[in-house]
């Protein structure tokens, strides 16, 4: 920069218009380079901050307990439903099987502990004929 300033001072006293034009062009190019360096420095700082944020270990979040039908399942974002007993006792998020029809009920199974979870409650209907009296099974 000092050399450029010295050349400019010498050119002021010169009558060479071409020399003055070249020195003016050098100043314009130098200012454009300074601007580019400032932009790149800002971009570099932003990229370094982004890298630092991504390098930090992610905070471990607790899975969310939600009721689905008559069962409670854990969900971790889009992962789930997961077995509640396995997470509560072992801290392991185990995704349950796809829902299956089971005699009019809907159930899922944990592949780790083997427990079944019924989303639609089982209905146990008693079809018991009266055992005594004129309408009992022997009276027919």
CB-neighbour burial class of residue 81 (10 A; exposed 0-12, middle 13-18, buried 19+): buried
Residue 31 lies in a domain: yes
If we measure between CA atoms, which residue out of 74, 62, 64 comes closest to residue 117? 74
pLDDT digits (tens, 9 = 90+) for 88-110: 999 889 999 998 888 878 889 99
For the chain, how many structural domains are there in total? 2
Residue 17 lies in a domain: yes
Residue 83 lies in a domain: yes
Task: Enter the pTM of the model.
Answer: 0.44
Q: Are residues 25 and 49 in the same domain?
A: yes
Q: Are residues 50 and 28 in the same domain?
A: yes
Which H/E stretch holds residue 101?
strand 100-102
Residue 138 lies in a domain: no
Residue 139 lies in a domain: no
Higher pLDDT, 27 or 40: 40
Q: Are residues 50 and 79 in the same domain?
A: no
Q: Are residues 88 and 51 in the same domain?
A: no
pLDDT digits (tens, 9 = 90+) for 39-54: 999 999 999 998 888 7
Residue 21 lies in a domain: yes
Which residues form the domain of 78? Answer: 64-120
């Amino acid at each position: 920069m000092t050399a450029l300033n010295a050349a400019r001072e010498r050119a002021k006293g010169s009558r060479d218009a071409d020399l003055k034009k070249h020195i003016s062009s050098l100043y314009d190019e130098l200012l454009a380079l300074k601007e580019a360096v400032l932009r790149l420095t800002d971009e570099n700082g932003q990229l370094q901050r982004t890298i630092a944020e991504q390098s930090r270990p992610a905070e471990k979040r607790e899975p969310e307990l939600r009721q689905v039908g008559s069962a409670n399942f854990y969900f971790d974002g889009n992962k789930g439903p997961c077995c509640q007993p396995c997470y509560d006792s072992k801290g392991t998020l185990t995704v349950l099987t796809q829902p299956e029809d089971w005699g009019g009920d809907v159930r899922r199974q944990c592949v780790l502990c083997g427990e079944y979870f019924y989303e639609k409650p089982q209905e146990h209907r008693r079809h018991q004929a009266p055992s005594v009296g004129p309408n009992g099974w022997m009276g027919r």
